[in-house]
Amino acid sequence: GAGVSQSPSNKVTEKGKDVELRCDPISGHTALYWYRQRLGQGLEFLIYFQGNSAPDKSGLPSDRFSAERTGESVSTLTIQRTQQEDSAVYLCASSLVLLTYGKVYEQYFGPGTRLTVT
């Protein structure tokens, strides 16, 4: 079946502009995650959606960052008034979730969106 897809693959924007990044999870995956990867760094958690529960926004770096997800489908990560430090690859992942203690399923990652703020 299809994997996680993200669009656009690359995005160049001017400082101060708003950008929207899109993630299409694997069908049936109730959990969706956004991570940020700065050049030469590891992945930083941004936000996590699980079904209709309130999202875990603990990783969002500032109020310029927001994300939405409708049901168990597409998610959009929005960065307002972009800054040069926002330049990074933004990766989305999805997984199944079984709401019992400790059950974990593999997170499947998309290819990411490379954002460059000039």
Residues contributing to the site for other proteins (CB under 8 A): 31, 33, 35, 40-45, 48, 50, 56, 59, 89, 91, 93, 95, 97, 99-102, 104, 106-107, 109-112, 114
The minimum distance between CB 53 and other proteins, in angstroms, equals 8
What amino acid is encoded at 54 in this protein? A
- H or E element that contains 112: none
Residues 6+ apart with CB under 8 A from 4: 23, 24, 25, 26, 92, 93, 94, 108, 109, 110
- Would you say 14 or 40 has its CB closer to other proteins? 40
- Would you say 74 or 108 has its CB closer to other proteins? 108
- Would you say 34 or 86 has its CB closer to other proteins? 34
The minimum distance between CB 40 and other proteins, in angstroms, equals 8
Do 64 and 80 contact (CB within 8 A), yes or no?
Answer: yes
Positive or negative, the Cα torsion across 66, 59, 105, 107? positive
What amino acid is encoded at 107 in this protein? Q
The minimum distance between CB 71 and other proteins, in angstroms, equals 18
The minimum distance between CB 74 and other proteins, in angstroms, equals 19
